[in-house]
Each structure stands twice: as C-alpha cells, then as structure tokens.
A and B are shown apart, each in its own frame.
Chain A
Amino acid sequence: MLSKTKNRVLLAGFLGAASLWAQDAPLASSSVRIDLPEDSPVAVMKWDTGTSRAAARGAALVLDLNISLTLRNISPNRIHGITLRVVSQEVAMGGVGSVFQPGLNVGPGEVFPVHIVTKLMRPQASSGPLLQVNLDGVLFQDFTFYGQDKLHSRRIMTACEMEAQRDRTALKRMLAQGGSPALKEAILKILDRRKDLPEVQGRVVRGRALTNAGVAAITPEHERQEQFALLQFPDGPIQMIRGSALIAGGDARTPSIEVANLTDKPVKYVELGWVLTDSGGRSYMAGSLPSSDPAFTLGAHGSGKVSTGNTLEFSTGGKPLSIQKMTGFVNQVEFADGKVWVPSRQDIDSKPLLLQVMEPSVEEERLANLYVTKGLPALVDELKKY
C-alpha cells in the first residue's frame, strides 16, 4: 500500500540520512518517514523533529528523536484510540516500538497531537529514513477497527476501551447516586492508589543460549520451583488450574500456568496478571504472562498452558527483589470471534491484593489527571460526553 507522503519524503529522507556524517547534528524532519495507507482514517497535518539530534559513536549513529505529530480524523467515526508503529529497519534484533494513545474521543474533522520520543542506534553506513512511523491501528467508538494490526493493537485497544467504559460507568453511577462529593471521593481514592503503587523495575531477557553444562554451572543452589497462588474470578471465562516458575532471588524463569476454558466459545488469547510478594510481605504487580504463541487456542471447555522460556529479572530501589510468593489472575481473554473479556469492577474490588497492586486503569488515570489539572466541573463535563 503506497503512502500518501512516501514519494515526497523519500528523497528528502535520503538527503537527511546523508547529512548525518557529522559528529553531532540536529535532524531535519525529513529524517523521519510517516507512512500512512491511502485509505487511512487519519491524515498527517504537520510534524516536526524539534530538538532531535544524531551523534556518531564509532561506526554507529545514536539518534535522539523528538517527533511532534498533528493528526486529523478524516473518517466519519469518532476515534477512541490509535497505535503507531515505530521502526528502524536497521536496528539489530528487529526490535519494534509502538506508541498507543488511548482515551481519545476525537470527532470527524478534529485534530489531535501525538508525541514520540525515541532513542535508537543504527549503522552509519546505511541509507533511507532513520525512522519510520506507520499506522498499526485505529479503534473507533463503536469498537470497529482499522489497520494492519501487526502489534495486536485491536485486542489491546479493545481491552483498554472496555476497561474505560467499565470505569466511566462506575464513576457516572457514583455521580448519579452521591453527586459531586461522591465523585470527588472516588477520584481521590484513585489518586491515592496511584501514589501508593509499589514501584518495581525489571527486564525480560531473551537469547540466553546455554549448554547443559552451562545450565548446571549457573543454576543457583537456592533456585526453587514456586507455585502460583491463584486468584479466581467467579464469573470469569477462564479458570487457572495450577502454575509455577523457577525462582532465585529476584529472577523468575520459565513461568507456566495451566488454564481451562469454562465457556462454549473458543479462546485465542489469555493474559494472566502476575503479582510478586517479597520477603517483607510487600506485593508488586510484576506484569503479565500472555499466551502470545499464535498457535495458542483453547477449544470450548478445553484446557492448555500459558508459558514462556524467558527470564524476568525484578528489582526495586536498585536491589533485586526477594521473591517469596507469586499470585496469578486472569487479566484479559480474547475469544476466537474477536470479543474481549476483562475483569469487572466487582471482580477487582473484591480482591484486596489487586486493589493494593494494580495500577488504576488508563481511563481512571486520565480522568483523575483531568480533575487535578482542570477541577471537578471539567471532570463532570467529561463524563457527560460519554
């Protein structure tokens, strides 16, 4: 599919790349290629690369890109989310980045900004644009979707939008029942949850190729197989059967959880939330264990396993986490027909551990920020828009 801007920008992109032989130089906006399909529901109104710079390091270029985009909704539908794919074909290991802007409510003809700040390293001796920004998907108000969906944007944005509807509904109910004071109290609780959220840092490591002897050499004596405690949601479509991971200090290897589909509908994706508790009894939302294997499927009332061979390393305050306990729960389910399930507000509110570790949803955070920056009347007006 040809880009609207492709031809215009391509030549300039080459020229921009050629200008980068300098040691440290500002970047022209032509160094970036914005690639939108012919029938894209959004159009680029303008973009610039602001304070972007490139610096030579040996045979490589280190790029600091600061891209400001202004997009216009040229479709007849309201846009509720957009995902842009950020790629540099020269980046080793084929890494890909994405920028997802949820919580939008952009009507036909309206414009909205997208800000991309990226750093990347690539060989100097290469041509073409330094960075390409492609449209991966757009989610509309009615849950219809447009895009290539290479990054599973449809599922991610749909789940996010369902959570947004769930949390807006809860806040609107509070507003209806208790008026502005009740809404304010709910928002303050969200802000408190956000403030008290225990922070955890970490990395997901892939590419550790070990010989058998190597495994024996590095396997710590204190590595143990830890079972997952399972938090079940009574009305959820998936039940967890059992699960475990190999734990050593702050490292967790090869997590695996067996799951069963309780419904009559085939399931093609399950995402499990993962909570860690350290030796001091403090719990952290460690992340998720998704079934990202494209071949994964759970037939009606079937069972299967969600697992990975990767190693996750967790730390907090610069020190490795001392993992003592793990808890799993079902965070997201996608059925074969594209429908998505997320836990209900009641599911979450009934589990004190989740209230303690789960960050507020994207919509809760957006609305709380609106309250902080523009006040209660603006928040009430915002809720009335939906």
Chain B
Amino acid sequence: MRHPNQATLALHAGGDLGPFRRWLTARHLARCTYCREEVAGYNEMRELLPELAELPDISWNRMAAEIKANVRLGLEAGECVRTAEMPLHRGSLTGWRAAVAFASVIVLVGGCLVLQHPAPQPVHMAETAVESAQDGIQLQAGDDHMLGLMNGGASTSVKAVYHFDAQGSMGSRYIDPQTGSMTINTVSYAQ
C-alpha cells in the first residue's frame, strides 16, 4: 500500500488540502490504521499549539536572535568535529523524520518560553581551570585543553607529585626518564 507523505497527512489534519487530494487522503485513511494514527497525532498537536500561542509576551526578536546564534554555534561546532564530507540525503518528511521534526519544534518553542521566564540559574562563563591530567597538567578553557605540560612524555608512565596553588596554578614534579633530572612543570593563568 502506498501511503501519503507526512506533509499531506498534516495538511489533511488541518483541513488545508484541496478537494481532490482531500478525497484521496480520506479514502486512504479509511483503510489505513497507521495513517489514521498519524493524523490523530497531528490533531492533538493542533489542540496543543493554541495553548502555547496564548502564553503572553513572547519576545520574537529575541527568540530569532537566539535561534540565529544557536544555528551559527551549531555550524561552527559541526566544523570542529566533522572529519569528512557527509552526503546530503534528500528524503521526504515521513515517519520518524516527521516525529523528530515535530519534537524539535516543541522543544524549541518550549525553550523560548523558558527563556522568557527564566528561573534563577547560574550563569557559567567558559570556565578556565588548571588541573591534573593523565601524565601531566593542563590549562583548560571550556572543553578545550589549551596548554599542557606532560611528565616527560605522554607515552611514559612517570610517577609525579602534583601541587595545587589556590591562586590558579598547578605543578607536577617528576624525574624525567629522558634526562634523569628532577623537573617541575607548572601551568598557570597569565602572570
């Protein structure tokens, strides 16, 4: 059996199809349980959306700016993690894709509403920290390890003593396996 696509079902649920396509879709729905459930889902969504729309004072400009910023952030993050060109899939908005799309819309709208009425939340800037790491010490900014000093080589397992300085530096002390010399590495914020 050939099913109508999700867009057609959604338009049908909203009464937005032309007469001929509406007739065709209704004919299909009469014998297809799966598509009837899809349409029922769209109807439930339509009942929910007016309630959301009634919530007062949505700052659409702010929402637009936030969405734009998030899109840019996502693109930049994608650039950082992308290892190869991904093929672009062109498919119809059916099945699970439609479900994901709708869920995304709900999350987005809900997120914007929360942003409009925020509860007291900590405002975390990108944390800068000095910390002990595997085989060394490092300065970390957000999720990036900006500068690290290893205990004589990352591949070697050197027993080191770590030392914290509450003002923002950290040291590791070890005997360098290459030189045999006592060495003290320190990483700190700018002096």
Contacts and interface: CB of A to CB of B under 8 A. Distances in A.
Interface in B112-128: 119-128
Contact of B132 (A64, A86, A97, A202): A202
A125 to B, nearest CB: 13
Contacts of B187: 95-97
A377 interface: no
B25 interface: no
Contacts, number: 218
Interface in A352-386: 359, 362, 365-366, 369, 373
B147 interface: yes
Interface stretch (B5-13, B99-107, B168-176): B168-176
Contacts of B144: 60, 92, 121
Contacts of A308: 166-168
A176 interface: no
Contacts of B151: 117
Contacts of A202: 131-132, 162, 164
Contacts of B180: 369, 373
A289 B79 CA distance: 41
Measured as residues with beta carbon below 8 angstroms from the partner, the interface class of chain A is: 35 or more
B181 to A, nearest CB: 6
A365 B176 CA distance: 12
B189 A95 contact: yes
A60 B141 CA distance: 14
B33 interface: no
Interface in A205-232: 205-211, 213-218
Contacts of A373: 180
B122 to A, nearest CB: 4
Contacts of B154: 64, 117, 119
Interface string B58-100: 0000000000000000001001111000000000000000000
Interface of A: 57-60, 64, 66, 68, 86, 88, 91-104, 112-121, 150-151, 197, 200-211, 213-218, 255, 274, 286-290, 292, 308, 310, 312, 359, 362, 365-366, 369, 373
20 contacts: A58-B79, A91-B147, A97-B149, A97-B187, A98-B186, A99-B185, A114-B181, A119-B150, A203-B131, A203-B132, A204-B130, A205-B127, A207-B125, A209-B123, A209-B124, A210-B124, A211-B120, A217-B120, A217-B121, A290-B165
